[in-house]
Amino acid sequence: MSTHTLPFPFPPSPFTISHSLLAWWDAHRADLPWRQTRDPYAIWVAETMLQQTQIATVIPYYERWMARFPTVADLAAVPLEEVLKLWQGLGYYSRARNLHAAAQTVMQRWGGQMPRRAADLQTLKGIGRYTAGAIASIAFGEATPVLDGNAMRVLTRLTDYAGDVTRSASKNELWQLAATLVPDSRPGDYNQALMELGQQICTPAKPACLLCPLAAHCLAWQRGTQPERPVQSPRPRTPHYDVVAGVIWQNGQIEANERFLIAQRPLHGLLGGLWEFPGGKQEPGETLPEALRREIQEELAIEIAVGEHLTSIKHAYTHFRITLHAFQATHLSGVPQHLGVANHAWVTLAELDDYAFAVTNQKIIATLRQVVPDGVNR
DNA sequence: CACGCGTGGCC
DNA sequence: TGGCCAAGCGT
């Protein structure tokens, strides 16, 4: 049990809280794929996929991943392309790149064994304070805290904490509280119980306080302030952009084994390392075809003629929205196989399956498969 | 330290 | 519908 003092008064003893929580969890814990093992690598993969991502979304990705890369050695041995392909559609692609790089670090620097202590785990790329605590407590039994969005909601309500949790100073106080509460016995179970309480009972809207094992100790429940916790400063409104993409093929009429031009995005930044149909944002005062011609010229140094509109796709990212307009286009002076651009490829419709695309471009591909007649590219 | 980074579900 | 939220991390 940690001996840190709380930054605010909270009478119940840590043992009272952890004991009630563990009793509840033993009766109500969900059966999840990554809970059938103590393999630190499996826990690591699951925790990384679960960052900012819901359980139901993660499960099929986790199953595919563990079937394809059962050990850290398997992961370290494959090229990044294959890793990104398996991560396709899961989002936050730096997680996949970091997992891959850290697997190679584990092989080279740690002799193929995951480090056991939270402090050592946190030196690996993509493993921060939360994930280090999760792996160390669940796989190795270290009495170290975790604090995710769920735990933060539970703890702010339990103590009726009024600080703005978007500020890191507030998060530090809550980490301290979390550390105070972690028991020496079953710390991994306790940490999972804390998060699962936030997921199942202490939900953002309409928490089920009547079913909560901690209600007797909960200051927000006593005061009726659950809806006001946690306190968060509002996010700014999300802007909207119109984006164009060119599906570039050789002739106006589709031929057998028609090839399309795709480009790989830079390894860092938005959708880093993924492939896409080339294009970009529309500037003010530009028509969509004008924007497409300009973007293609800047990116690939070729001139195109913009043809038929194929589809428009609305998509919401976290901080902005786009409408992606896809056009058929043809290269005006024949199709160069080498563009002087490193990360591009001419591929058939069937070969598109080998590349990792973001969801917006997956939708363009789906449209393309309907437009291109059967028998071509098959 | 504030911000960029994906996608899907919910209302 | 747009905004909020989800087992966060790196810079």
Domain's final residue, options A205, A228, A251:
A228
Residues A310 and A270 occupy one common structural domain? yes
Close Cβ partners of A324 (under 8 Å, ≥ 6 residues apart): A243, A244, A245, A312, A313, A314, A315, A360, A364
The owner of tokens 């990554």 is: A34
Q: Domain for residue A20, yes or no?
A: yes
| Å: A235 CA to B2 C1' | 12
Contact A336, A378 (CB under 8 A): no
Q: What local confidence, expressed as pLDDT, does residue A305 receive? A: 94
Mean predicted confidence (pLDDT) in A191-216: 95
Q: Taking the CA of residue A217 as centre, how many other CA atoms within 13 Å lie in the half-sphere pointing to its CB?
A: 20
Q: Is the pLDDT of residue A378 over 50?
A: no
The total number of structural domains in chain A stands at: 2
Q: Which nucleotides of C are covered by protein (CB under 7 A)?
A: 2-10
Q: Is the pLDDT of residue A376 over 60?
A: no
Residues having Cβ less than 7 A from any atom in strand C:
A 30, 32, 35, 46-47, 50-55, 92, 94, 98, 124-132, 134, 148-150, 153, 192, 195-196, 198-199, 204, 232, 234-235, 237-238, 316, 318
- Of the given ranges (A83-87, A235-239, A270-274), which has the lowest mean pLDDT? A235-239
Nearest residue to A147 (alpha-carbon basis) of A92, A205, A191, A180:
A191
Q: Is the pLDDT of residue A377 over 70?
A: no
| Å: A108 CA to C6 C1' | 34
Domain's final residue, options A204, A228, A252:
A228
Mean predicted confidence (pLDDT) in A168-187: 94
User: Is the C-beta of residue A54 closer than 7 Å to nucleic acid chain B?
Assistant: yes
Kind and range of the H or E run holding A87: helix A80-87
Nearest residue to A243 (alpha-carbon basis) of A293, A200, A281, A193:
A281
CATH number, domain with residue A151: 1.10.340.30
pLDDT band at residue A335, thresholds of 50, 70 and 90? low
Model confidence pLDDT, tens digit, residues A110-125: 999 999 999 999 999 9
Model confidence pLDDT, tens digit, residues A285-307: 999 999 999 999 998 888 999 99
Model confidence pLDDT, tens digit, residues A46-93: 999 999 999 999 999 999 999 999 999 999 999 999 999 999 999 999
Contact A85, A356 (CB under 8 A): yes
Q: Is the pLDDT of residue A4 over 50?
A: no
Tokens of residue A364, six digits: 């363009």
Write out the residue range of the structural domain in which residue A71 sits.
Answer: 14-228
> Is residue A47 annotated as part of the catalytic site, yes or no?
yes
Close Cβ partners of A211 (under 8 Å, ≥ 6 residues apart): A201
| Å: A199 CA to C7 C1' | 10
Marked catalytic residue, from A47, A142, A196, A295: A47
